[in-house]
Amino acid sequence: MTWLIGHLLAVCTGISLGLLGGGGSVLALPILVYVMGVPTKSAIAMTLLVIGSVSLLGTIPHWKKGNINLKTAFIFGSATMVGAFLGARLATLPFVTATFQMLLFATLMLLAAAFMIRRSAQIDNPDYKARDRQKNLTLYPQPVCRYCWLWLMSEGIAVGVLTGLVGVGGGFAIVPALVLLGKIPMVQAIATSLLIIFLNSVAGLLGYLGHISVDWQLTLSFAFAAALGTLIGSYLGQFVSAKQLQKGFGYFLLAIATLVLIQNRHILHNFLTPKGNSIIPAEKTINRTEVN
State residue 272's pLDDT score: 54
Number of domains the chain is built from: 1
State the residue range of the domain holding 5: 1-270
97 within domain boundaries: yes
Which pLDDT score is estimated for 228?
Answer: 87
- Is residue 285 one of the residues assigned to a domain? no
The pLDDT assigned to 58 comes to 79
**291 lies in some domain:** no
276 within a domain of the structure (yes/no): no
Q: Is residue 280 part of a domain?
A: no
> pLDDT at position 86, please?
93
DSSP characters over 118-165: HHHHHHHSTT--GGGTTT--TTSPPP-GGGHHHHHHHHHHHHHHHHHH
- Residue 275, pLDDT score: 52
Give 24's contacts (C-beta < 8 A, 6+ positions apart).
Answer: 13, 14, 15, 16, 17, 18, 233, 249
Please tell me the predicted confidence (pLDDT) of residue 82. 92
State the pLDDT at residue 278.
Answer: 44
User: Averaged in consecutive runs of 10 residues, what is the pLDDT profile of the chain (292 residues)?
Assistant: 86 76 72 88 89 83 86 87 92 87 85 74 54 49 57 81 82 74 78 87 90 88 87 76 68 81 68 50 42 42
Flag whether 279 is in a domain: no
Q: Give the global pTM.
A: 0.76
Instruction: State residue 242's pLDDT score.
Output: 58
pLDDT at position 232 is 84
* One-letter amino acid for residue 260 of the chain: V
Q: Tell whether 240 is covered by a domain.
A: yes
Continuous H helices in 68-131: 70-91, 98-124
Residue 221: the pLDDT is 92
- Residue 189, in any domain of the structure: yes
- Alpha carbon distance 200, 175 (integer Å): 14
